[in-house]
């Protein structure tokens, strides 16, 4: 996995890898227009992209920002999104208690869940944890299991699908993205867009699953269109799929009920905290009770679809969509009251700002449902209703200061240490603009106090991920986890130990993926600087380069063995391509991994904010 543009559920920020997305001026302008929701600029810049050779890549990159903006929108607009963010907020609020307990026993074993199990404790040679830590670990493990259960793939004669909350968020984001490209670029642009993916089959499985399921359930009418020109094989290659009812159903399914024990609802209705279950219940009810609407192939009216789904929710779950959201916001407020007891400005402020956005979104939904739930509205308005924070990341590290107007979030600076001036010792990995992207749009929803989210991005969120999953997390910025670890060690005085298997992220990158990301040009060996023939490259991930001490030392020597070489190695978190010939030399250096917990003590990983 090579991070390009991602939405972080722990900080609600969009992360973009600068070196990958900044292909050229035209693409950068379209990306800027998309982020800021500037419709006129989007129209102008789409015209400039038409007819380019690498149109598909440019369209994928630019529209990815709209996709991620939609995720931000849905984390505010749905109870599932809010629930996912609460998972992290709870950890943020409990971090002092976790560290207190960690200091008592001298170290913390991660993911925290491992300390609950007597067999794993025996493997680690540790005693039962203090009661407070035990209780927190139980709560985190429970929530993690619930999320995993909702994500379990569902098998059918149409294939294996994931239809839980995360898949539903993806379906809405992808639909918005796809409509965005079609609307502003036309059919040709859309064809280039869907063709330019690394793996078409995976793409279909991930983003087409809910449409297939909707078709099978009978809530997505299909009208077959004529075959493509020039094709005479008798196969119809295009169909018009009306997804209005489906997207209303998905939006409603994402309003899961996380207060099942506090309900006072009439008998005969069901409560479900699982979006997958809710989706199935809604689809079945619609297919049975709204047959005429489900079979309408000459164009569905969006408001009719909304009304049918809203009524279905009232009948099946006992609450209309906005009522479900209102209950969840109340629940959020009750949590905020508990967070206030922490006295932590960040934990409290982030929760307050989040609730404020949820209330604004709720009011918009109550007044005009399409403005919030319709992916068409979102696409055509370039997502101008929301203004998420965008973190510009550079996994190779950019030397010097962050650009003018940006706040650096993850950086390193020992350039003046010892009274010397060594500019190669100063760089940044992540920075964010101080001014909101759509500063001109007064009613765009954005956090009132973005500065409170900076510490969330660079320390609270990575720390929470370490507690929940150890280092086995897909990172947004290469060094973020080590960054958090060192911060914790320095500020809190707790040694972190990782249970075997949770010490490193999954770090395999296929050669084909790296070639795809580098746009089909020659793949050059990062050690020999010679082109690597197709099928002969090995990709060494940043974690691989760091987890084998002998390989790390060899690489630094290869770079020159001096202070600049050492700091180049520390700075660079990009994957390295290696030729088959060079791997003969490197493979023997990859036999012994760095021992458990040794990262923190190793000077190779000293980093500073």
> Does 300 interact with another protein (rule: CB under 8 A)?
no
CA geometry: angle 333, 338, 341, nearest 5 deg: 130
Q: Minimum distance between the CB of residue 62 and another protein, rounded to whole angstroms?
A: 11
**Nearer of residues 16 and 293 to another protein, judged by Cβ:** 16
- Calpha distance 315→266 (Å, rounded): 10
Among 36, 67, 168, 258, binds another protein (CB under 8 A): 67
- Calpha distance 321→309 (Å, rounded): 9
Let me know how long the chain is.
609
Owner of token pair 């907020």 = 89
Using DSSP, state whether 429 is helix, strand or coil: strand
Which span (170-178, 221-229, 376-384, 558-566) binds another protein, by CB under 8 A? 170-178
Give the tokens for residue 435: 């001014």
328 touches 412 (CB < 8 A): no
Among 5, 253, 384, 556, binds another protein (CB under 8 A): 5
> Does 317 interact with another protein (rule: CB under 8 A)?
no
Instruction: With CB under 8 A as the rule, give the number of residues binding another protein.
Output: 71
What is the pairing mode between strands 576-578 and 426-433? unpaired
CA nearest neighbour of 256 among 164, 176, 172, 170: 164
> Does 174 interact with another protein (rule: CB under 8 A)?
yes
Q: Minimum distance between the CB of residue 247 and another protein, rounded to whole angstroms?
A: 17
Going 123 to 128 to 129 to 134, the CA torsion angle's sign is: positive
473 phi and psi angles, rounded to 5 deg = -130, 145
Give the tokens for residue 27: 């693409």
Owner of token pair 């909350």 = 165
> Does 350 interact with another protein (rule: CB under 8 A)?
no
Which span (95-103, 252-260, 290-298, 460-468) binds another protein, by CB under 8 A? 460-468
Which span (58-66, 219-227, 359-367, 389-397) binds another protein, by CB under 8 A? 58-66
* 241 bridge partner residues: 222
Among 19, 47, 104, 202, binds another protein (CB under 8 A): 202
Among 153, 186, 403, 423, binds another protein (CB under 8 A): 153
* Binding to another protein in span 584-603, by CB under 8 A: 593
> Does 395 interact with another protein (rule: CB under 8 A)?
no
> Does 119 interact with another protein (rule: CB under 8 A)?
yes
> Does 507 interact with another protein (rule: CB under 8 A)?
no
Which span (31-39, 152-160, 241-249, 348-356) binds another protein, by CB under 8 A? 152-160
Q: Minimum distance between the CB of residue 5 and another protein, rounded to whole angstroms?
A: 5
Residue 435 C-alpha from the chain's centroid: 23
> Does 122 interact with another protein (rule: CB under 8 A)?
yes
CA nearest neighbour of 427 among 452, 446, 409: 409
> Does 216 interact with another protein (rule: CB under 8 A)?
no
**Nearer of residues 114 and 537 to another protein, judged by Cβ:** 114
Among 231, 237, 451, 474, binds another protein (CB under 8 A): 474
> Does 385 interact with another protein (rule: CB under 8 A)?
no
93 touches 347 (CB < 8 A): yes
**Nearer of residues 169 and 300 to another protein, judged by Cβ:** 169
> What Å distances lie between residue 114 and 399, 500, 575, CA to CA?
39, 10, 30
**Nearer of residues 59 and 316 to another protein, judged by Cβ:** 59
- Kind and range of the H or E element at 239? strand 239-241
Measured N-to-C along each axis, helices 165-195 and 200-207 cross at an angle, to the nearest 10 degrees, of 140
Q: Which residues contact 367 (CB under 8 A, 6 or more apart)?
A: none
> Does 198 interact with another protein (rule: CB under 8 A)?
yes
Q: Minimum distance between the CB of residue 476 and another protein, rounded to whole angstroms?
A: 6
Which DSSP string corresponds to 399-420?
A: ESSPPTTEEEEEEEE-TTGGG-
277 touches 302 (CB < 8 A): no
Alpha helix stretches (DSSP H) within 548-598: 549-558, 563-571, 580-586
Among 465, 515, 567, 594, binds another protein (CB under 8 A): 465
Q: Minimum distance between the CB of residue 523 and another protein, rounded to whole angstroms?
A: 16
Q: Minimum distance between the CB of residue 14 and another protein, rounded to whole angstroms?
A: 9
Among 34, 38, 82, 166, binds another protein (CB under 8 A): 166
**Nearer of residues 207 and 354 to another protein, judged by Cβ:** 207
**Nearer of residues 120 and 553 to another protein, judged by Cβ:** 120
> What Å distances lie between residue 479 and 122, 284, 287, 508, CA to CA?
31, 46, 49, 17
**Nearer of residues 128 and 563 to another protein, judged by Cβ:** 128
> Does 207 interact with another protein (rule: CB under 8 A)?
yes
Which span (203-211, 223-231, 329-337, 411-419) binds another protein, by CB under 8 A? 203-211
> Does 508 interact with another protein (rule: CB under 8 A)?
no
Owner of token pair 């001096």 = 562
- Calpha distance 33→521 (Å, rounded): 29
Among 128, 152, 262, 443, binds another protein (CB under 8 A): 152
Q: Which residues contact 566 (CB under 8 A, 6 or more apart)?
A: 556
> Does 322 interact with another protein (rule: CB under 8 A)?
no
Which span (165-173, 232-240, 392-400, 554-562) binds another protein, by CB under 8 A? 165-173
> Does 573 interact with another protein (rule: CB under 8 A)?
no
Among 285, 327, 425, 472, binds another protein (CB under 8 A): 472
* Binding to another protein in span 512-541, by CB under 8 A: 513, 516-517
Which span (40-48, 154-162, 239-247, 252-260) binds another protein, by CB under 8 A? 154-162
> Does 206 interact with another protein (rule: CB under 8 A)?
yes
Residue 402, burial from CB neighbour count under 10 angstroms (0-12, 13-18, 19+): buried
């Amino acid at each position: 996995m090579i991070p390009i543009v991602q939405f972080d559920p722990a900080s609600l920020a969009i992360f973009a890898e600068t070196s990958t997305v900044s292909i050229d001026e035209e693409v950068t302008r379209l990306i800027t227009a998309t982020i800021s929701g500037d419709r006129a600029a989007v129209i102008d810049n789409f015209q400039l992209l038409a007819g380019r050779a690498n149109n598909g890549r440019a369209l994928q990159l630019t529209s990815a920002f709209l996709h991620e903006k939609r995720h931000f929108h849905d984390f505010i607009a749905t109870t599932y999104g809010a629930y996912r963010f609460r998972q992290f907020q709870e950890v943020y609020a409990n971090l002092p208690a976790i560290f207190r307990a960690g200091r008592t026993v001298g170290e913390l074993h991660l993911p925290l869940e491992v300390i609950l199990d007597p067999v794993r404790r025996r493997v680690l040679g540790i005693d039962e944890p203090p009661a407070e830590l035990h209780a927190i670990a139980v709560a985190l493990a429970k929530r993690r299991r619930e999320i995993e259960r909702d994500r379990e793939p569902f098998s059918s004669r149409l294939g294996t699908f994931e239809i839980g909350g995360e898949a539903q968020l993806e379906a809405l984001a992808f639909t918005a993205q796809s409509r965005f490209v079609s609307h502003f670029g036309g059919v040709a642009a859309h064809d280039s867009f869907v063709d330019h993916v690394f793996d078409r089959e995976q793409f279909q499985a991930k983003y087409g699953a809910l449409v297939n399921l909707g078709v099978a359930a009978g809530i997505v009418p299909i009208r077959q269109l004529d075959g493509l020109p020039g094709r005479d094989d008798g196969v119809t290659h295009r169909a018009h799929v009306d997804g209005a009812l489906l997207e209303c159903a998905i939006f409603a399914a994402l309003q899961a009920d996380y207060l099942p024990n506090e309900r006072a609802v009439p008998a005969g209705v069901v409560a479900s905290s699982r979006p997958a279950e809710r989706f199935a219940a809604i689809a079945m009810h619609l297919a049975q009770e709204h047959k005429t609407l489900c079979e309408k192939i000459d164009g569905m009216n969006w408001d009719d679809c909304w009304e049918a789904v809203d009524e279905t929710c009232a009948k099946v779950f006992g609450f209309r969509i906005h009522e479900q959201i209102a209950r969840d916001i109340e629940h959020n407020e009750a949590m905020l009251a508990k967070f206030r007891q922490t006295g932590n400005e960040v934990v409290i402020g982030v929760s307050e700002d989040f609730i404020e956005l949820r209330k604004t979104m709720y009011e918009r939904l109550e007044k005009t449902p399409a403005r919030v739930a319709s992916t068409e509205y979102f696409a055509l308005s370039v997502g101008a209703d929301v203004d998420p924070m965008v973190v510009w990341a550079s996994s190779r590290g950019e030397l010097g200061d962050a650009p003018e107007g940006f706040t650096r979030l993850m950086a390193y600076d020992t350039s003046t240490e010892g009274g010397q001036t060594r500019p190669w010792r100063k760089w940044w990995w992540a920075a964010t603009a101080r001014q909101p992207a759509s500063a001109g749009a007064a009613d765009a929803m954005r956090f009132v106090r973005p500065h409170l989210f900076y510490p969330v991005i660079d320390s609270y969120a990575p720390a929470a991920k370490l507690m929940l999953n150890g280092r086995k997390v897909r990172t947004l910025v290469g060094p973020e986890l080590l960054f958090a670890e060192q911060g914790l060690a320095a500020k809190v005085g707790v040694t972190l130990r990782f249970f075997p298997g949770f010490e490193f992220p999954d770090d395999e990158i296929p050669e084909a993926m790296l070639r795809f990301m580098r746009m089909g040009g020659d793949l050059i060996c990062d050690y020999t600087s010679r082109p690597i023939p197709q099928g002969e490259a090995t990709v060494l991930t940043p974690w691989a380069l760091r987890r084998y001490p002998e390989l790390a030392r060899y690489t630094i020597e290869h770079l020159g063995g001096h202070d600049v070489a050492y700091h180049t190695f520390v700075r660079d978190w990009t994957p390295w391509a290696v030729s088959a010939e060079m791997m003969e030399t490197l493979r023997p250096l990859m036999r012994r991994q760095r021992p458990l917990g040794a990262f923190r003590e190793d000077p190779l990983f000293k980093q500073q904010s």
